[in-house]
C-alpha cells in the first residue's frame, strides 16, 4: 500500500515537510530494501529507529517518518510526536482503504495454524492477505494492514497479547468484519493474572467497536460459549457441541498417510475435510476456519478443498525424520498448558514407542510450578514410553515423582546423549516448550546438523 507524504501526515496526525508527489510503502526496518519506501523510525525498549535515519536515506528511502531528524539530513519528512502511535494510526488508515473484508483472530493456542487454515478456506473469494510470521502485536498488526494491497479480496489478521488492553488496541486498529476467539487458557498470566483475566482480554475482540461484525464462537470452550447468546450480533458457532453451526461429526487420524480426516455437519450438508497433519486439535482449528468461511458466504465445499494443501507453519507439529529412522514432531515454537496437553494427546494417539521431550512454559505467573506439575502428571497418565522434562520449572515440578519413565534435568544437553542412543526406527519424539526454552536445539543435536547450536 503506497502513501504520499501528505497522506502519511494526515493519517499519523503529523506535519509534512516536503514537496512533490513522492509515493511509496512504509518500512520500519533498515534490513528491508528501502528503495522507493518511507522509513518510519520505531522506538522500542532495546532499539531506536532514529539512530538509523541517515542509513535509511542512504539506502534509498524516499523520506522518513520520525520525531526528529539530523539538521543536515535533507530529505522529505513527516514529523510526529510518537512513532509507535503514528504507526498504529497509519495502520488504522490502511484498514479504511481495504476493499475486502477483514478477519481478526486471537486465542491462547493455535492462532497461527488457524490463520493458515483461514487463508486457505477464503481463497474462493480471490486474493487473501495474512499476517506474516509473528507480526501479531501492537506493531505487527498495523504493519500487516499497511502491507495489504488495497484491492485484496480478504485480509486475515492474527492478534496476540502480552498484557491487559492490547487486544482492545489491536481491534480498534483492525476493526474486523469477522471476529474469532479460538480458545481461552493459561497464558501470559504474569500480566493477565488468571484464566478469567485471559478470557476478559481475549474477548475484547468481540466487544471493542463491534459495529456489524460477525462473531465466530467456539461452543466447546466454557469461557467462550456464552458469547454465542444475544440477538444484537450475527453469530456463527463451531465445535463438537450438538448445537454448533459447524459441528465436528468425526475425526480420524491416519498416521500412515500423515493425515487427519474429519467430517463436519454444516448448514450446507456434511462436508469432509483432509488435513496434511496429524492431530484432533487441528480438526477443531479447521472447523473454526470453516465457520469463518461460512460467515463470509464462501461455499463450504469449495472452502474445504483448500485445507488439504495447508503446510505446517514453522515449528508447529512439523514431522522430521531423524537419521536412525525415528520421527520427531517439532512443536518447539511455543507452549502453554493448553497447547502442551493438546500436543501430548496427539502423541499418545499415535502408534509405536512414544517419547516426549518437554521444556519450560514461560509467563505463567505465581502458579507456574503448579501448572508444570500438573502438566507432567498429565504426561505420565498417557501411554508414553518416556517423558523427559528440562528447565528450572520442569525440573522443580518433577521432583518427588517416582515414575520410572520420567527423566528430569535443568539442562537440555544432559538428556540428549542418552536419548539419542535410545531412539530407534519407528519411534516418535515430541519436542515442545516455550520459545525461550529453545527446544529446537534438541533436533539440531539429534539430526547431527549443528552440534554447537544443540549445546549452546
Q: What secondary structure does DSSP assign to 176-239, as a single string? A: -SEEEE----S-SHHHH-SHHHHHHHHTHHHHSS-TTPEEEEETT-TTTGGGG--TTSEEEEEE
Nearest to 161 by CA among 178, 138, 145: 138
Q: How does DSSP classify residue 85?
A: H
Determine the pLDDT at residue 323: 86
Determine the pLDDT at residue 451: 42
Determine the pLDDT at residue 145: 97
Measured distance CA(46)–CA(427) in Å, rounded? 43
All domains of the chain in start order, with CATH? 3-81 (3.40.1390.10), 98-307 (3.40.1190.10), 318-455 (3.90.190.20)
- pLDDT < 50 positions in the chain: 451-456
Measured distance CA(189)–CA(368) in Å, rounded? 9
**CA 320, 322, 323, 325 torsion-angle sign:** negative
Determine the pLDDT at residue 314: 64
- What are the pLDDT digits (tens) for 274-325? 999 888 889 999 999 999 999 999 999 999 999 999 987 767 778 889 988 8
Q: With contact defined as beta carbons under 8 Å apart, do 122 and 305 qualify?
A: no
**C-alpha cell belonging to residue 149:** 494491497
Taking the alpha carbons at both ends of the chain, their separation in whole angstroms is 41
pTM, whole model, 2 decimals? 0.83
**Residue indicated by cell numbers 505420565:** 380
Q: Helix 337-348 crosses helix 368-380 at what angle (to 10 degrees)?
A: 10
Amino acid at each position: 500500500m503506497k502513501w504520499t507524504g501528505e497522506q502519511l501526515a494526515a493519517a499519523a496526525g503529523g506535519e509534512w515537510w516536503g514537496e512533490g508527489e513522492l509515493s511509496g510503502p512504509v518500512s520500519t526496518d533498515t534490513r528491508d530494501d528501502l528503495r522507493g519506501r518511507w522509513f518510519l523510525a520505531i522506538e522500542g525498549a532495546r532499539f531506536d529507529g532514529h539512530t538509523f535515519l541517515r542509513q535509511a536515506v542512504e539506502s534509498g528511502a524516499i523520506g522518513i517518518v520520525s520525531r526528529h531528524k539530523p539538521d543536515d539530513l535533507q530529505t522529505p519528512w513527516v514529523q510526529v510526536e510518537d512513532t509507535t502511535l503514528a504507526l498504529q494510526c497509519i495502520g488504522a488508515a490502511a484498514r479504511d482503504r481495504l476493499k475486502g473484508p477483514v478477519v481478526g483472530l486471537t486465542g491462547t493456542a493455535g492462532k497461527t495454524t488457524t490463520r493458515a487454515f483461514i487463508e486457505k478456506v477464503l481463497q474462493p473469494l480471490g486474493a487473501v492477505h495474512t499476517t506474516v510470521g509473528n507480526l501479531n502485536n501492537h506493531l505487527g498488526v498495523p504493519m500487516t494492514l499497511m502491507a495489504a494491497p488495497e484491492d485484496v479480496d480478504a485480509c486475515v489478521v492474527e492478534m496476540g497479547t502480552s498484557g491487559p488492553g492490547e487486544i482492545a488496541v489491536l481491534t480498534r486498529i483492525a476493526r474486523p468484519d469477522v471476529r474469532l476467539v479460538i480458545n481461552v487458557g493459561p497464558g501470559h498470566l504474569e500480566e493477565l493474572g488468571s484464566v478469567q483475566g485471559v478470557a476478559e482480554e481475549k474477548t475484547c475482540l468481540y466487544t471493542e467497536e463491534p459495529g456489524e461484525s460477525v462473531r465466530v464462537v467456539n461452543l466447546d470452550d466454557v469461557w467462550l460459549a456464552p458469547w454465542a447468546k444475544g440477538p444484537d450480533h450475527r453469530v456463527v458457532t463451531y465445535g463438537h457441541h450438538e448445537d454448533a453451526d459447524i459441528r465436528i461429526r468425526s475425526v480420524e487420524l491416519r498416521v500412515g498417510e500423515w493425515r487427519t480426516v474429519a467430517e463436519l455437519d454444516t448448514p450446507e450438508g456434511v462436508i469432509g475435510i483432509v488435513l496434511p497433519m496429524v492431530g484432533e486439535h487441528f480438526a477443531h482449528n479447521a472447523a473454526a476456519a470453516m465457520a469463518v468461511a461460512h460467515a463470509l458466504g464462501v461455499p463450504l465445499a469449495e472452502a474445504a478443498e483448500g485445507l488439504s494443501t495447508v503446510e505446517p507453519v514453522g515449528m508447529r507439529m512439523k514431522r522430521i525424520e531423524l537419521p536412525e529412522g525415528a520421527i520427531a514432531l517439532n512443536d518447539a515454537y511455543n507452549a502453554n498448558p493448553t497447547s502442551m496437553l493438546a500436543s501430548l494427546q496427539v502423541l499418545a494417539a499415535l502408534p509405536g514407542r512414544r517419547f516426549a521431550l518437554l521444556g519450560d512454559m514461560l509467563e505463567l505467573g505465581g502458579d507456574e510450578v503448579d501448572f508444570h506439575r500438573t502438566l507432567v502428571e498429565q504426561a505420565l497418565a498417557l501411554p508414553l514410553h518416556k517423558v523427559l522434562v528440562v528447565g528450572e520449572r520442569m525440573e522443580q515440578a518433577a521432583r518427588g515423582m517416582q515414575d520410572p519413565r520420567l527423566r528430569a534435568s535443568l539442562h537440555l544437553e544432559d538428556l540428549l546423549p542418552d536419548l539419542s542412543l535410545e531412539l530407534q526406527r519407528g519411534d516418535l519424539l515430541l519436542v515442545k516448550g516455550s520459545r525461550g526454552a529453545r527446544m529446537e536445539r534438541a533436533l539440531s543435536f539429534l539430526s547431527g546438523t549443528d552440534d554447537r547450536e544443540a549445546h549452546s
